């Protein structure tokens, strides 16, 4: 929001050689945020997945190792542009993202769409808004990034061995109490 822009402007006014890197949703091994981990948990438990509305919400992701690569490139090349959006070039619908997570977990997917006026952050790991970052500068510096399918597969392998490292939210409890009743 506006506070981020003000913070960026302040940083660049105070430290002109700073870089500001703007990622969308990060994912990958060691991600302790309950996003893909939530879907993997639902898949492992063969749960019906409760999808906000029709699942058309567009999401943009970036694999954590690609973020590390772009930081290394920026430092090595002393890039002239000091504000850089990063992320996968293509967005994916929430529905297709959930389908991909269930497929990687090897679980059949059953979906119920939640169309009631329920705050989706109570049962789903993303807010109800879309944005797509222009990643053209990143694309020049790092033309190839990991595919979402491959990145989610690596995320799932990590998740299976590290479930206790994830900061869980009460999505499943909320669904069971308030939606699935």
pLDDT in tens, 53-74: 999 999 999 999 999 999 999 9
User: What confidence score (pLDDT) does residue 5 get?
Assistant: 83
Confidence of residue 116 (pLDDT cuts 50, 70, 90): confident
> Percentage of the chain surpassing pLDDT 70?
99
Average confidence (pLDDT) over 13-39: 94
State how far the Cα of 35 lies from the Cα of 173, in Å rounded to an integer: 15
User: What confidence score (pLDDT) does residue 1 get?
Assistant: 60
Contact 177, 126 (CB under 8 A): no
Average confidence (pLDDT) over 108-136: 95
Please provide the average confidence, as pLDDT, over all residues in the chain. 95
Q: Which range is least confidently modeled, 10-19, 38-47, 95-104?
A: 10-19
Q: Does residue 86 carry a pLDDT above 80? A: yes
User: What confidence score (pLDDT) does residue 136 get?
Assistant: 97
Cβ neighbours of residue 61 closer than 8 Å, sequence gap 6 or more: 24, 25, 26, 27, 87, 88, 92, 148, 151
Q: Does residue 99 carry a pLDDT above 70? A: yes
User: What confidence score (pLDDT) does residue 8 get?
Assistant: 84
User: What confidence score (pLDDT) does residue 54 get?
Assistant: 97
CB atoms within 10 A of CB 165: 12
What number does CATH give the domain 20-162+170-179? 3.40.50.720
Relative orientation angle of helices 94-105 and 36-44, to the nearest 10 degrees: 50
User: What confidence score (pLDDT) does residue 16 get?
Assistant: 84
Closest by CA position to 162, among listed 55, 29, 9 = 29
Output DSSP code: residue 39.
Answer: H
Residue with tokens 């930081």, as numbered in its chain: 71
Contact 87, 151 (CB under 8 A): no
State how far the Cα of 115 lies from the Cα of 55, in Å rounded to an integer: 10
């Amino acid at each position: 929001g506006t506070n981020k822009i003000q913070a960026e402007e302040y940083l660049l006014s105070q430290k002109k050689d700073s870089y500001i890197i703007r990622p969308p949703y990060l994912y990958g091994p060691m991600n302790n945020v309950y996003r893909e981990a939530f879907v993997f948990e639902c898949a492992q438990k063969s749960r019906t997945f409760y999808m906000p509305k029709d699942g058309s919400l567009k999401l943009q992701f970036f694999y954590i190792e690609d973020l590390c690569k772009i930081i290394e490139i920026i430092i090595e090349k002393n890039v002239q542009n000091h504000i850089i959006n990063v992320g996968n070039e293509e967005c994916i619908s929430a529905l297709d993202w959930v389908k991909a997570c269930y497929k990687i977990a090897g679980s059949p997917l059953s979906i119920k769409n939640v169309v009631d006026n329920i705050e989706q952050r109570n049962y789903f790991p993303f807010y109800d808004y879309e944005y797509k970052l222009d990643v053209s500068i990143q694309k020049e510096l790092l033309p190839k990034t990991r595919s979402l399918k491959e990145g989610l597969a690596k995320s799932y392998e990590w998740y299976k061995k590290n479930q206790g490292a994830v900061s869980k939210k009460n999505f499943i409890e909320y669904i069971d109490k308030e939606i699935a009743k």
